[in-house]
C-alpha cells in the first residue's frame, strides 16, 4: 500500500477515535458544543495525532494512554484555526471548502468554541491519568509520566509555543517594516513546529523513553515542522494550482514575506533538503521500527500540495 493511502487510512482511524472524545450536543450550552464538533470534524490530515501515535508505537508504547493526548492535540490545533479565522484575525470565510465556524455559528460562539476546545483539550488529556490503573507500570511512575506529557502540551501550545508564534505573525502583518530572517524562523518554529514537537515528544514520553530520546524527538520534530513550513512557502510560488487546490502566488499578492522572498528559491529548497535529511538521520539513531515514520516525514516535506 502506498504512503498516501496508508496516511488516509490512519487519518480515518484517528477520526473515529476523536469522535469518541467529542462532547454530546445537549444542555443549555448546546450551541457551543455543536460549534466545537463542527470545527473538529471539518476534515484535515490529522497529522499531529498521527505523529504522536506513530512515535509512541515506534518506541514500543502499548496500551491506550496516548489516546486522550491524540484527541487533545487535535483540539488545540483546531481551536487555533477557529480563532485564527475570526474577522479580527485573518477574517477567513472558508477553510477546506467549508464555511468557517464564525460564519456558521456567529462570532461570539466561535470565540467561545475556541475557548471551549482549548479548555477541553486539557480536560481530555487529563483523562490519561485514569489509564494508569490498567497498566503494569507503578501508579506513581505513571502519574509522573502523564504529568510530564501534560507539561509539554501546555508549554508548546502556549505563549512560549504556538500562541507566541501566532502573536509574532499577527504583529509582523500589522507592521510596515520588513521581516528579518530571525523573526520569520521564530514564527515558523513557534506557530507550526511547536505542536509537531509536542506531538512527537508526548508520544515518546508516554512510551517511557528516556530524556535523551525526548530531546532527539524534539529536534527531529523541529526540523520536520520548519521544513514543512518552508515547503509551504515554496509551493505558493511554484506549486501547481490544480494539485494544490488553491491559487498560487497569494503570499506575493498579499505582500507577505516568506522564506522564499527573504532567502531566495534556491536557498529555500536547499534548506528543506538539509532539514529533512537531518530529521531522517535523527530517526535512524532511535531504536524501533521507524519505516512508516520516515516515509511519512519524507512525504510531508516533499509533498506537492
Provide the binding-site residues for a second copy, judged by CB under 8 A: 23, 27-29, 31-33, 36, 79, 83, 86-89, 106-109, 111-112, 114-116, 118-120, 122-123, 126, 129, 138-140, 143-144, 146-147, 150-151, 154-155, 157-160, 163-168, 170-171, 174, 183, 186-187, 190
Under 8 Å between Cβ of 4 and 299: yes
- Nearest distance from residue 258's CB to a second copy, in Å? 17
- The kind and range of the H/E element at 95 are strand 94-95
Query: In whole angstroms, what separates CA 112 from the centre of its chain?
Result: 21
CA–CA distance, 148 with 145 (Å, rounded to integer) = 5
For residues 164 and 203, which CB has a smaller minimum distance to a second copy in the complex? 164
- Nearest distance from residue 26's CB to a second copy, in Å? 11
For residues 186 and 299, which CB has a smaller minimum distance to a second copy in the complex? 186
Taking the CA of residue 259 as centre, how many other CA atoms within 13 Å lie in the half-sphere pointing to its CB? 24
The cell 493526548 sits on which residue? 69
- Nearest distance from residue 225's CB to a second copy, in Å? 17
For residues 107 and 304, which CB has a smaller minimum distance to a second copy in the complex? 107
CA–CA distance, 13 with 17 (Å, rounded to integer) = 6
Could you tell me which residues come within 8 angstroms of residue 228 by beta carbon, excluding any fewer than 6 positions away?
192, 193, 196, 300, 301
Under 8 Å between Cβ of 104 and 37: no
- Nearest distance from residue 85's CB to a second copy, in Å? 11
For residues 151 and 246, which CB has a smaller minimum distance to a second copy in the complex? 151
What are the start-end ranges of the H helices in 133-289?
139-157, 162-174, 181-187, 194-206, 211-238, 241-244, 250-253, 259-263, 265-285
- State the CB neighbour count (10 A cutoff) for residue 93: 10
For residues 93 and 107, which CB has a smaller minimum distance to a second copy in the complex? 107
Three cell numbers, residue 209:
523513553
For residues 183 and 267, which CB has a smaller minimum distance to a second copy in the complex? 183
For residues 57 and 155, which CB has a smaller minimum distance to a second copy in the complex? 155
- Nearest distance from residue 301's CB to a second copy, in Å? 25
- Nearest distance from residue 31's CB to a second copy, in Å? 6
Give the three-state DSSP class for 27.
coil
- Nearest distance from residue 255's CB to a second copy, in Å? 18
Under 8 Å between Cβ of 74 and 49: yes
N-to-C CA span, the chain: 20
For residues 78 and 290, which CB has a smaller minimum distance to a second copy in the complex? 78
CA–CA distance, 24 with 5 (Å, rounded to integer) = 31
- Nearest distance from residue 128's CB to a second copy, in Å? 10
Amino acid at each position: 500500500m502506498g504512503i498516501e493511502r496508508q496516511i488516509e487510512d490512519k487519518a480515518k482511524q484517528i477520526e473515529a477515535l476523536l469522535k469518541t472524545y467529542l462532547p454530546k450536543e445537549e444542555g443549555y450550552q448546546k450551541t457551543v458544543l455543536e460549534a466545537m464538533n463542527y470545527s473538529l470534524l471539518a476534515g484535515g490530515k490529522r497529522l499531529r495525532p498521527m505523529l504522536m501515535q506513530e512515535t509512541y508505537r515506534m518506541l514500543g508504547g502499548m496500551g491506550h494512554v496516548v489516546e486522550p493526548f491524540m484527541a487533545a492535540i487535535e483540539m488545540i490545533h483546531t481551536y487555533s484555526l477557529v480563532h485564527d479565522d475570526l474577522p479580527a484575525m485573518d477574517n477567513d470565510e472558508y477553510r477546506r471548502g467549508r464555511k468557517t465556524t464564525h460564519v456558521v455559528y456567529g462570532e461570539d460562539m466561535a470565540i467561545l468554541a475556541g475557548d471551549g476546545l482549548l479548555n477541553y483539550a486539557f480536560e481530555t488529556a487529563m483523562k490519561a491519568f485514569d489509564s494508569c490503573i490498567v497498566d503494569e507500570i507503578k501508579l506513581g511512575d505513571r502519574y509522573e509520566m502523564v504529568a510530564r506529557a501534560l507539561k509539554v502540551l501546555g508549554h508548546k501550545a502556549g505563549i512560549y509555543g504556538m500562541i507566541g508564534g501566532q502573536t509574532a505573525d499577527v504583529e509582523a502583518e500589522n507592521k510596515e517594516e520588513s521581516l528579518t530572517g530571525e523573526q520569520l524562523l521564530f514564527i515558523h518554529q513557534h506557530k507550526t513546529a511547536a505542536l509537531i514537537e509536542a506531538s512527537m515528544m508526548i508520544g515518546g514520553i508516554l512510551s517511557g523513553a528516556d530524556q535523551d530520546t525526548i530531546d532527539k524527538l524534539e529536534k527531529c520534530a523541529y526540523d520536520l515542522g520548519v521544513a514543512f513550513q518552508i515547503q509551504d512557502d515554496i509551493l505558493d510560488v511554484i506549486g501547481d494550482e490544480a494539485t494544490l487546490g488553491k491559487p498560487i502566488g497569494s503570499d506575493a499578492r498579499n505582500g507577505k514575506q516568506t522564506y522564499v522572498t527573504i532567502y531566495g528559491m534556491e536557498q529555500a529548497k536547499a534548506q528543506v533538503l538539509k532539514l529533512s535529511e537531518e530529521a531522517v538521520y535523527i530517526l535512524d539513531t532511535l531504536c524501533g521500527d521507524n519505516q512508516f515514520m520516515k516515509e511519512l516525514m519524507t512525504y510531508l516535506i516533499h509533498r506537492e500540495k
